[in-house]
Amino acid sequence: MEYEAIPGVTLVLGGARSGKSRFAEGLVTRLPGPWIYIATAQAWDDEMRDRIRQHRADRAPGWTTVEAPLDLADALSRHGHGPLLVDCLTLWLTNVMLADRDVPAAFAALEDALAACTGPIVLVGNEVGLGIVPDNALARAFRDHAGRLHQRLAVLASQVFLTVAGLPLKVK
Amino acid sequence: MEYEAIPGVTLVLGGARSGKSRFAEGLVTRLPGPWIYIATAQAWDDEMRDRIRQHRADRAPGWTTVEAPLDLADALSRHGHGPLLVDCLTLWLTNVMLADRDVPAAFAALEDALAACTGPIVLVGNEVGLGIVPDNALARAFRDHAGRLHQRLAVLASQVFLTVAGLPLKVK
Amino acid sequence: MEYEAIPGVTLVLGGARSGKSRFAEGLVTRLPGPWIYIATAQAWDDEMRDRIRQHRADRAPGWTTVEAPLDLADALSRHGHGPLLVDCLTLWLTNVMLADRDVPAAFAALEDALAACTGPIVLVGNEVGLGIVPDNALARAFRDHAGRLHQRLAVLASQVFLTVAGLPLKVK
């Protein structure tokens, strides 16, 4: 069965290397372009810069990449009038926490921006809450925030998927 | 689709901040009250005491809270004649292990108590087995016990759900 | 609902103590025997030797056990003409990495061997990617490899399951 992005928000969750980004890209590229790719990865060093360049080269032509490591709500407001992919929420949340921004305020701004988007929006996030409680307090705070974010986005989403071994389980 | 607790046991598993408690509470409160809430959290310090007080204040009126950090089988025997929620199995298992009780005996007593309950019972548990093998031997033992417990309870359950981003996947 | 192995490859993923091995064994034993059990566990010490012996004793009669901690493709080529279970991919991947073998080459050889099998093949693997990013670089590499392996095998599989509390979620 082939899914595609539908009006409103589609949330794609999955574990590491579960094929969530590829599945999410397919949801968007099954629609007529042009397509906006909002990249939240931040290039801290040369290795990361190389990986980001590689990811961009791997994408099908027809994508326009917009970098928004922190100001995701802003990028959605500017570009959310056509098919758009955010990859990924998890790096964005990491950036928000590392920049010491107010997390609940950032979530609320994101929800407001999504509500105002007119194009189909696909959001990719890492599901990180199904292992043992981490020893590290920052990791615990991170997974709590990530879980709450996913729940809030799932409420407003039209579709929610969990990818397993590259395959989508439809949750909503 | 709105689910509700049905006669027998409903098992609700989910990751951290996956909305499992809220979903489980809804399963119970869709039935006529009064409802029993068996809390297994143990107040070790003031922070925990505050969190427990907060959780209790957040619950809808109509709940009666019973604390059973260790003697869960007992609490089920005394209160399991009407709609009842246990939140959560994971803290109970932690308490059983920390108190150095016999884990297989505790599981067997729990199963016996559940078999004798006449009301619909909803059990909440953390799924903790889907990450990398923990370095820590106690964490490994814990996730082994938790996995075995969930399997045993799933056998006797009428319904089993896995919550993802606040949404239920029906597994049984 | 009772599933069974079908022609081609069935991939069974699940967390620790999620009942994946038992479910996978049932897929095979619902078919007429004889059945081949490919064990990838390596006995490094007496404890492991005991556990392997115990596992073997627990299996129903009718199984023939073949040990293939590293040369899984080979074992499949020799035995993959009837119902066969590989338990598990995760230990095999661990052995491949510890032996410093080329991981992509090992994956390609495995895919080639599977394509040439004529019997129904059931592969068991641990889903390890749904927790917090591990601190440890080897663990990160491992979960990346495991995720990629599962995705590749899911593409060629006829059926894919995720076990939760001993119950199968059909993903493909």
Both structure tokens of C144: 């990346």
| A61 preceded by a cis bond (ω within 30 of 0) | no
pLDDT given at position C150: 98
Mean pLDDT within A167-171: 97
ipTM of predicted assembly, 2 dp: 0.93
Q: Show which residues on chain B lie within 8 Å of chain A, measured between beta carbons.
A: 14-19, 127-132, 134, 136, 139, 142-143, 164-167, 169
Could you give the CA distance from residue C58 to residue C56 in angstroms, rounded to a whole number?
5
Mean pLDDT within A39-52: 83
Residues of C whose CB is below 8 A from B135: 136
Closest CA–CA distance from residue B57 to any residue of chain C (Å): 31
Mean pLDDT of chain C: 94
B158 annotated to a ligand binding site: no
Residue of B nearest to A140 (CA): B16
A89-134 pLDDT, tens per residue? 999 999 999 999 999 999 999 999 999 999 999 999 999 999 999 9
Looking at residue A66, its amino acid is V
pLDDT given at position C1: 64
pLDDT of B44 over the 80 cut: no
The four Cα atoms B95, B101, B103, B104 give a dihedral, to 10 degrees, of -150
Residues of B whose CB is below 8 A from A154: 165-167
Q: Show which residues on chain A lie within 8 Å of chain C, measured between beta carbons.
A: 14-19, 127-132, 134, 136, 139, 142-143, 164-167, 169
pLDDT given at position A47: 76
Residues of A whose CB is below 8 A from B167: 154, 160, 171-172
pLDDT given at position B1: 63
Q: What is the DSSP pairing of strand A63-67 with strand A35-39?
A: parallel
pLDDT of B157 over the 70 cut: yes
Give one DSSP letter per residue of A66-87, joined into a string.
Answer: EE-SS-HHHHHHHHTTS-EEEE
B to C CB pairs, distance under 8 Å = 71
How far apart, in Å, are the Cα atoms of C99 and each of C94, C103, C125?
Answer: 8, 10, 19
How far apart, in Å, are the Cα atoms of B7 and each of A157, B28, B60, B79, B87?
Answer: 32, 11, 22, 15, 18
How far apart, in Å, are the Cα atoms of C33 and each of B128, C2, C36, C84?
Answer: 35, 18, 9, 10
Residues of C whose CB is below 8 A from B160: 164-165, 167
pLDDT of A50 over the 90 cut: no
Between A15, A143, A169, which is nearest B169 by CB?
A: A169
pLDDT given at position C57: 82
In a domain, B2, yes or no: no
C70-105 pLDDT, tens per residue? 999 999 999 999 999 999 999 999 999 999 999 999
B60-89 pLDDT, tens per residue? 789 999 999 999 999 999 999 999 999 999
Q: Show which residues on chain B lie within 8 Å of chain C, measured between beta carbons.
A: 11, 13, 15, 127-133, 135, 143-144, 146-148, 150-151, 153-155, 160, 162, 169, 171-172
Residue A88 sits in a domain whose CATH number is 3.40.50.300
In a domain, A3, yes or no: no
How does residue A46 score in pLDDT terms, banded at 50, 70 and 90?
confident
Mean pLDDT of chain B: 94
In a domain, C4, yes or no: no
Which chains sit next to B, with 3 or more Cβ pairs under 8 A? A, C
Hey, are the CB atoms on A150 and B166 less than 8 Å from each other? yes
pLDDT of B18 over the 80 cut: yes
pLDDT given at position B92: 98
- Host domain of residue B52: 9-170
In a domain, C3, yes or no: no
In a domain, A2, yes or no: no
Find, among C33, C110, C118, the residue nearest to C68 by Cα: C110
In a domain, B3, yes or no: no
DSSP label at residue B66? E
- Phi then psi dihedrals of residue C148, to 5 deg: -65, -40
How does residue C170 score in pLDDT terms, banded at 50, 70 and 90?
very high
A56 annotated to a ligand binding site: yes
Which of A104-108's residues contact partners 24+ apart within 8 Å by CB, and which partners?
A106/A73, A107/A148, A107/A149, A107/A152
Could you give the CA distance from residue B69 to residue B73 in angstroms, rounded to a whole number?
11
Mean pLDDT within A40-44: 85
Mean pLDDT of chain A: 94
Longest CA–CA separation in chain A, Å: 46
Q: What is the DSSP pairing of strand C159-164 with strand C167-170?
A: antiparallel
Mind telling me the catalytic residues of C? Answer: 55
| Alpha helix (H) residue ranges in B80-102 | 89-98
Split into its structural domains, chain C has a count of 1
pLDDT of C47 over the 80 cut: no
Find, among A72, A151, A82, the residue nearest to A110 by Cα: A72
pLDDT given at position C91: 96
